[in-house]
C-alpha cells in the first residue's frame, strides 16, 4: 500500500458546524503533515506530527485542531470556521525521521472544503 487516503473528498459545512477530516497511511511513515491550499496558490504548511507528537504548528488558528491517534492516522478537527477557510486540505506523510529529508512527501488526494 503506497497511498495516503483522505476522507471525505468533499465537505460543505456551516460556520457553526463541527466536522473532522481524516487521513490514513499504511506505509510505516513516521511523519505526517497537514497543508492548506487555496486556488492558484502553493500548499501552506499547517501542522507536522513526528512519531505521533505535534512537532510544528505554523501559528494556525485554534478553530483547526489536529490529532494523531496512532502512527497510521491523522485527523483535523474543524469548528467555527470562516468562509475564507474554504480550500483544499492536503495530508502528507514521509518515510524519514523528520530531521533528514531525502525523499519528500506522499500526498493524499485532498479534501475540498467549502464553508458557507
Partner 1 sequence: QKEVEQNSGPLSVPEGAIASLNCTYSDRGSQSFFWYRQYSGKSPELIMFIYSNGDKEDGRFTAQLNKASQYVSLLIRDSQPSDSATYLCAVATQGGGKDRASKIIFGSGTRLSIRP
The site for partner 1 (CB under 8 A) is made up of 31, 33, 41-45, 48, 50-51, 53, 55-56, 88, 90, 98-110
Q: How far is the CB of 80 from partner 1 (least distance, A)?
A: 26
**CB-wise, 42 or 69, nearer to partner 1?**
42
d(CA 112, CA 89): 6
**CB-wise, 14 or 101, nearer to partner 1?**
101
The 8-class DSSP code of residue 84 comes to G
**CB-wise, 43 or 66, nearer to partner 1?**
43
Q: How far is the CB of 88 from partner 1 (least distance, A)?
A: 8
Q: How far is the CB of 38 from partner 1 (least distance, A)?
A: 11
Closest CA to 36 of 64, 12, 13: 64
Is the link from the previous residue into 8 a cis peptide, with omega within 30 of 0? yes
d(CA 81, CA 78): 7
Amino acid at each position: 500500500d503506497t497511498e495516503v487516503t483522505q476522507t471525505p473528498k468533499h465537505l460543505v459545512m456551516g460556520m457553526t458546524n463541527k466536522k473532522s477530516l481524516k487521513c490514513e497511511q499504511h506505509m510505516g511513515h513516521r511523519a505526517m503533515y497537514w497543508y492548506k491550499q487555496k486556488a492558484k496558490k502553493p500548499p501552506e504548511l499547517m501542522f507536522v506530527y513526528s512519531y505521533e507528537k505535534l512537532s510544528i504548528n505554523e501559528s494556525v488558528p485554534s478553530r483547526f485542531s489536529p490529532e494523531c491517534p496512532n502512527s497510521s492516522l491523522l485527523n483535523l478537527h474543524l469548528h467555527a470556521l470562516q468562509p475564507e477557510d474554504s480550500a483544499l486540505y492536503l495530508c502528507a506523510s514521509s518515510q524519514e525521521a523528520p530531521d533528514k529529508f531525502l525523499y519528500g512527501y506522499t500526498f493524499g488526494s485532498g479534501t475540498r472544503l467549502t464553508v458557507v
